[in-house]
């Protein structure tokens, strides 16, 4: 049997393309003492991976050209020289885009089969923890307040919106035209705004008659400019989770004029704007994932996925994030577990 891997072949200038990736085929590795051999079942593709394709310092180390791309995976232990992880154990792991890989267990967490395994890459994984801490720790919401969630149909935004509604907030979500029906189906929004609409400014103002107390920003761009510069209430809080409009150098990022105006607006409104990285809260992830699992199993948390079938389509799935191909979490199904 052979093992396919996806190598980071070239740093992109702007939007990544097929040339960013290269497939390699080699032998299946053998685990050493203390290691296990993992068969990849699911791969997570996430917007933050685009930042790791740039050269230079960031909040996480960049990918090295010529080495495999890594992200969250769900895998099965198929050979084990580590008593903590016997054969047949299903684990959540941070690993390479490969059909098989070896691990010493450092980034592995056993998961239960009592929920669909892909959920551990979404609602019950990193995106869920991001939503939880970005909302409750950064924004510190209060019942009755108005929250705007940009990218509300995405993996993080859809969870934030549901948690905010359950917390008693007035929830406004933004999404592209084709995803508005999904937001309406979720049933947690008091208003939804099509950011591709003819007059986003007017739509946001109409959706937020009492102004904005909390803004969970996944996208940047025009929505952020309007919310921050025109709709903030006094003592508003802004959680900067992502800036997908600017990840590839797109023209939809905030204008220079808006960037200059934001500090003055924060000053006038006594508002707080905070960027955060979910790994900052890593010691507290069990707290978040326990509560999210409880809500999910009780049916109070709806999880939407876009599933791409086949290891060879992993780059396609990743590129689809930047053209809006995903509703909810984008995942790649690689294989089924042995039993």
- pLDDT band for position 258 (cuts 50, 70, 90): low
Residue among 245, 200, 242, 205 nearest 221 (CA): 245
**Integer Cα distance of 30 and 101 in angstroms:** 9
Tokens of 162: 């549901």
Q: Is the pLDDT of residue 184 over 80?
A: yes
Q: Is the pLDDT of residue 253 over 50?
A: no
Name the packing angle between helices 155-166 and 126-133 (round to 10°). 40
* pLDDT score for 257: 60
* pLDDT score for 250: 52
Q: Is the pLDDT of residue 255 over 70?
A: no
* pLDDT score for 247: 65
Percent of the chain at pLDDT > 70 equals: 95
Phi–psi pair at 132, nearest 5 degrees: -60, -55
Q: What value does the mean pLDDT of the chain take?
A: 94
**Integer Cα distance of 238 and 179 in angstroms:** 24
* pLDDT score for 259: 64
Lowest mean pLDDT among 13-17, 100-104, 159-163, 203-207: 13-17
Q: What is the mean pLDDT of residues 16-43?
A: 97
Contact 314, 98 (CB under 8 A): no
* pLDDT score for 321: 94
> From its phi and psi, is residue 10 left (phi > 0), alpha (psi between -120 and 50) or beta?
beta
* pLDDT score for 246: 65
* pLDDT score for 60: 82
Q: pLDDT tens-digit profile of 55-87?
A: 887 778 899 999 999 999 999 999 999 999 999
* pLDDT score for 261: 84
- pLDDT band for position 251 (cuts 50, 70, 90): very low
Tokens of 203: 């739509």
- pLDDT band for position 133 (cuts 50, 70, 90): very high
Contact 307, 333 (CB under 8 A): yes
**Integer Cα distance of 305 and 76 in angstroms:** 21
3-state secondary structure of 27: strand
- Report which DSSP code applies to 16: -
Lowest mean pLDDT among 170-184, 256-270, 312-326: 256-270
Q: What is the mean pLDDT of residues 277-298?
A: 95
**Integer Cα distance of 67 and 108 in angstroms:** 21
Q: What is the mean pLDDT of residues 12-29?
A: 96
- Report which DSSP code applies to 224: H
Q: Is the pLDDT of residue 299 over 90?
A: yes
């Amino acid at each position: 049997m052979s093992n396919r891997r996806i190598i980071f072949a070239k740093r992109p200038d702007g939007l990544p393309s097929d040339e960013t990736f290269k497939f390699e085929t080699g032998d299946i590795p053998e685990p050493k003492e203390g290691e296990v051999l993992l068969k990849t079942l699911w791969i997570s593709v996430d917007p933050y991976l685009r930042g790791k394709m740039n050269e230079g310092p960031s909040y996480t180390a960049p990918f090295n050209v010529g080495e495999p791309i890594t992200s969250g995976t769900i895998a099965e232990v198929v050979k084990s020289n580590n008593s903590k992880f016997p054969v047949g154990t299903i684990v959540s792991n941070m690993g390479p885009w490969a059909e098989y890989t070896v691990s010493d267990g450092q980034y592995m967490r056993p998961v239960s089969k009592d929920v669909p395994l892909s959920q551990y890459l979404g609602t019950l994984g990193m995106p869920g923890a991001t939503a939880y801490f970005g909302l409750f720790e950064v924004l510190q919401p209060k019942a009755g307040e108005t929250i705007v969630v940009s990218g509300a149909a995405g993996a993080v935004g859809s969870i934030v919106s549901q948690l905010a509604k359950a917390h008693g907030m007035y929830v406004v979500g933004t999404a592209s035209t084709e995803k508005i029906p999904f937001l309406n189906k979720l049933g947690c929004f008091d208003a939804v705004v099509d950011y591709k609409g003819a007059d986003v400014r007017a739509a946001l103002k109409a959706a937020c008659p009492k102004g904005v107390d909390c803004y969970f920003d996944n996208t940047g761009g025009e929505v952020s400019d309007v919310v921050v510069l025109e709709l903030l209430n006094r003592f508003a809080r802004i959680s900067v989770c992502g800036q997908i409009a600017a990840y590839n150098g797109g023209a939809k990022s905030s204008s220079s004029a808006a960037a200059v105006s934001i500090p003055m607006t924060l000053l006038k409104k006594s508002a707080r704007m905070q960027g955060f990285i979910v790994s900052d809260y890593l010691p507290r992830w069990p707290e978040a994932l326990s509560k999210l699992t409880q809500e999910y199993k009780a049916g109070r948390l709806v999880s939407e996925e876009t599933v791409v079938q086949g290891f060879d389509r992993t780059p396609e799935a990743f590129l689809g994030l930047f053209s809006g191909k995903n509703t909810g979490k984008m995942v790649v199904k690689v294989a089924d577990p042995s039993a």
